[in-house]
């Protein structure tokens, strides 16, 4: 008959060595280790003046990149903000989206907050400042703003395919009775305005009169209360990428006036 083999009994003290460590003891040790570590140093405060860039309708922040790079070299903290210009109504952009982004990105805590806008971006800013003005607001430069509406927007509002491409805000930028610019008053902040005088896209040529950039007339760009005004020989979008215009932006943010001479 086969003999049954039995495991030898454990040696004295072996049971104590194999006793599992309780989880609460491990957690307590880890917690003690974590609380004994030095606290992380707070993030250094950014004391640079801040500039927020607001592009035009159906565009994005890429159109403002040359201006952004120039201002960064000048020592500004630049927020080149892309926003849903085609899908979100101007009122919602002005009262909800823009204030939320300024708060989230720390712009309201900057020592000074400047803005550079293009086209509809200027109307968005005016609408926002009408109801809520940042305490640290500095200077504003508007490039090609339809401050009195745009005949190009009037035409686009009458064309279904243009409305589909340009989005919900295009009809609000017109010169008619429903134009949002009619609800906005004179500038009571420090602002300089740059208008264009060159036509690149002839699509709206027959709708325009006088000096214009193909989308906005020089007269419509003017704003009561502005500190400085300049007309440059460039079209509505191309002006954003021209060295003389960028230098004008830099000069106004720095000194409150455009540079004395224009060359391009």
pLDDT, one tens digit per residue, over 49-97 is: 999 999 999 899 999 999 999 999 999 999 999 999 999 999 999 999 9
Which pLDDT score, from 0 to 100, does residue 184 have?
A: 96
Could you tell me the CA-to-CA distances from 156 to 12, 52, 169, 219 in Å, in that order? 93, 28, 11, 20
With H, G, I as helix, E, B as strand and everything else as coil, classify residue 135.
coil
Mean pLDDT for the stretch of residues 255-263: 78
Which pLDDT score, from 0 to 100, does residue 6 have?
A: 47
pLDDT in tens, 140-166: 999 999 999 998 898 877 776 677 778
The per-residue b/e assignment along 241-252, b for 16 or more CB within 10 angstroms, e otherwise, is: ebebbbbbbbbb
Distance from C-alpha of 241 to C-alpha of 252, rounded to nearest angstrom: 17
Other CB atoms within 10 Å distance of the CB of residue 85 = 24
pTM, entire model: 0.81
pLDDT in tens, 192-244: 999 999 987 677 767 778 899 889 999 999 999 999 999 999 999 999 999 99
**Is the model more confident about 118 or about 12?**
118
CB-based contact 256:227 (threshold 8 Å):
yes
Domains of the chain: 50-255 (3.40.50.1820)
């Amino acid at each position: 008959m086969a003999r049954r083999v039995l495991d030898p009994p454990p040696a004295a003290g072996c049971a104590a060595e194999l006793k599992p460590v309780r989880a609460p003891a491990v957690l307590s040790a880890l917690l003690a280790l974590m609380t004994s570590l030095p606290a992380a140093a707070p993030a250094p405060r950014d004391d640079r003046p801040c500039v927020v860039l607001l592009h035009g309708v159906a565009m994005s922040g890429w159109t403002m990149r040359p201006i952004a790079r120039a201002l960064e070299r000048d020592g500004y903290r630049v927020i080149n903000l892309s926003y849903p210009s085609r899908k979100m109504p101007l009122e919602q952009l002005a009262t909800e989206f823009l204030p939320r982004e300024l708060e989230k990105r720390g712009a309201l805590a900057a020592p000074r907050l400047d803005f550079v806008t293009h086209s509809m971006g200027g109307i968005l800013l005016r609408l926002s400042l009408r109801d809520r003005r940042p305490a640290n607001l500095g200077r504003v430069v508007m490039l090609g703003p339809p401050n009195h509406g745009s005949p190009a927007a009037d035409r686009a509002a009458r064309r279904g395919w243009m409305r589909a491409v340009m989005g919900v805000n295009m009809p609000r930028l017109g010169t008619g009775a429903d134009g949002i610019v009619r609800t906005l008053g004179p500038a009571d902040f420090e602002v300089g305005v740059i208008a264009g005088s060159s036509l690149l896209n002839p699509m709206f040529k027959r709708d325009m009169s006088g000096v214009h950039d193909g989308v906005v007339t020089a007269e419509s760009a003017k704003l009561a209360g502005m500190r400085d005004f300049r007309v440059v020989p460039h079209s509505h979008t191309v002006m954003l990428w021209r060295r003389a215009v960028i230098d004008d932006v830099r000069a106004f943010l720095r000194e409150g006036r455009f540079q004395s001479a224009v060359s391009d």
